[in-house]
Amino acid sequence: MRQKLVENQGVPASLLWVLAIIAGLSVANIYYNQPLLNRIGDDLGVTEFAANLIPMVTQVGYALGLLFIIPLGDLYKRRTIIVANFALLAVATCGIALSPSLGCVLAASLVTGICSVTPQIFIPLVSQFSLAENKARNVGLVLSGLLMGILGSRVISGIVGEYLGWRTMYYVAAGIMLACIAVVVRLLPDMPSNFSGTYGGLMKSLWRLYRGNATLRLVSVRAGLCFGSFLALWACLAFKLSGAPLHAGNNVIGLLGLCGMAGALTASMVGGYVRRFGVRVFNYCGAAMMIAAWLLIYLLQDFYVGYIIGIIIIDIGMQFVQISNQTCALVLDQSAANRINTIFMTTYFVGGALGTLLAGTFWQSFGWTGVTAVGIGLACISLFITAFTKH
């Protein structure tokens, strides 16, 4: 049953859980490909570098969706935007499943990335309508659902890809999106718009927000760099583990996603502590954990224990960085919540695409040592930005 949300009056717990679950199911579309890259490459007869373009193009698509679609949440009914995105996702994922060539996969993956931005409509929605003392906690809950979707997508796609083929996974994804449409139409409440004007005026306001707010630029860039470090690991993990000495199958690679469950649990708890300890402390801790995780994985790269512990640590570190920076961004201007989130998440996924591209390039030239250098380097730059900027 639909409820009408009123700003600063709180979001019902039942609706929070629905939003968190749908956020996870939506974002999963971006990550189904990661454990399957070696199998997709073999099936389409392309190189590892060419196969690595699939997640990169998907992330670029996500950044484009953030830039051009998410601002519409301040101008039009959010329910309409969400339903349209899910309908296009159903078509795009079917397109991937039916693709006869890499070019077709890349085109459909671009659309998949563009239309998977729904969680970034939910997050500013929750921030805008939550009580002030609950904003960080509620945002953390939705982010926790989003992260569970990321983790679950890798596990499920790895298993489905191993036993039923990689194309089957995308048929399943299309069915899930159709089910999400039914839930959104029935349960998502009515919400007032935040912007009066044209789409052109809305997009111009993005530049004014970005140019006029140094804090927004700071939190976006340092979070994006850490996300690039995070995705560098997953961009090449399938290639690394499927080779000697581990010779892991897609099911094993996907199951490693469960190690990130610690990050998902962290996301649901961290939000409540950001105000107490401060954003800078969370950034120092998060970036440091990511660097430590990369070093551990590199030193123990021939043993599963290194990947298991490393993935747990890097997921927790990533949540420290994202939740603290995103919460900081969203409270800058509640009347422009979707546009603020657009700037933050566009920068965030540009950083992710950069990390994926660099990881794939360095994998070809320097192997796992090169990928490790990319991951540590991006996290270090984020750490230095925090250290050399004012409070």
Question: Is 8 domain-assigned?
Answer: no
Residue 49's pLDDT is 86
Amino acid in position 329: A
Instruction: Provide the pLDDT confidence category of residue 264 given band limits of 50, 70 and 90.
Output: low
Tell me how many domains the chain contains: 1
Over the stretch 11-68, which tens digit does the pLDDT of each residue have? Answer: 777 888 889 999 999 999 998 998 888 889 999 999 888 998 998 899 889 889 888 8
Residue 291's pLDDT is 97
Q: For every residue of the chain, which 3-state class applies, written as one string?
A: CCCCCCCCCCCCHHHHHHHHHHHHHHHHHHHCCHHHHHHHHHHHCCCHHHHHHHHHHHHHHHHHHHHHCHHHHHCCCHHHHHHHHHHHHHHHHHHHHHCCCHHHHHHHHHHHHHHCCCHHHHHHHHHHHCCHHHHHHHHHHHHHHHHHHHHHHHHHHHHHHHHHCHHHHHHHHHHHHHHHHHHHHHHCCCCCCCCCCCHHHHHHHHHHHHHCCHHHHHHHHHHHHHHHHHHHHHHHHHHHHHCCCCCCCHHHHHHHHHHHHHHHHHHHHHHHHHHHHCHHHHHHHHHHHHHHHHHHHHHCCCCHHHHHHHHHHHHHHHHHHHHHHHHHHHCCCHHHHHHHHHHHHHHHHHHHHHHHHHHHHHHHHHHHHHHHHHHHHHHHHHHHHHHCCCC
Question: Is 5 domain-assigned?
Answer: no
Residue 266's pLDDT is 67
Question: Is 6 domain-assigned?
Answer: no
Question: Is 2 domain-assigned?
Answer: no
The answer to which of 45-59, 164-178, 217-231, 265-279 has the lowest mean pLDDT is 265-279
Q: Is the peptide bond before 245 cis (omega within 30 degrees of 0)?
A: yes
What's the token pair of residue 390? 């004012």
Asked if residue 144 has pLDDT above 90, the reply is: no
Residue 16's pLDDT is 86
CA distances from 56 to 62, 160, 196, 199, 343 (A): 10, 22, 35, 28, 19
- The crossing angle, in degrees rounded to 10, of helices 199-211 and 337-387 is 20
Question: Is 37 domain-assigned?
Answer: yes
Contacts of 361 (CB under 8 A, 6+ apart): 49, 370
- Provide the CATH number for the domain around residue 96: 1.20.1250.20
Question: Is 273 domain-assigned?
Answer: yes
What's the token pair of residue 285? 């801790």
From CA 350, how far away is CA 225, in angstroms rounded?
9
From CA 105, how far away is CA 170, in angstroms rounded?
11
What's the token pair of residue 18? 């629905």
The answer to which of 118-127, 221-230, 269-278, 378-387 has the lowest mean pLDDT is 269-278
Asked if residue 335 has pLDDT above 80, the reply is: no
From CA 110, how far away is CA 47, in angstroms rounded?
20
Residue 10's pLDDT is 64
- Average pLDDT of the residues in 80-90: 93
Do residues 158 and 254 touch, judged by C-beta distance below 8 A?
yes
Over the stretch 158-210, which tens digit does the pLDDT of each residue have? Answer: 889 888 999 999 999 999 999 999 998 888 876 666 666 777 887 888 888 88
CA 82 to chain centre: 17
Domain that holds residue 143: 13-387
Do residues 96 and 148 touch, judged by C-beta distance below 8 A?
no
Residue 43's pLDDT is 92
Asked if residue 249 has pLDDT above 90, the reply is: no
Name the average pLDDT for the chain: 86
Do residues 40 and 54 touch, judged by C-beta distance below 8 A?
yes
Residue 1's pLDDT is 45
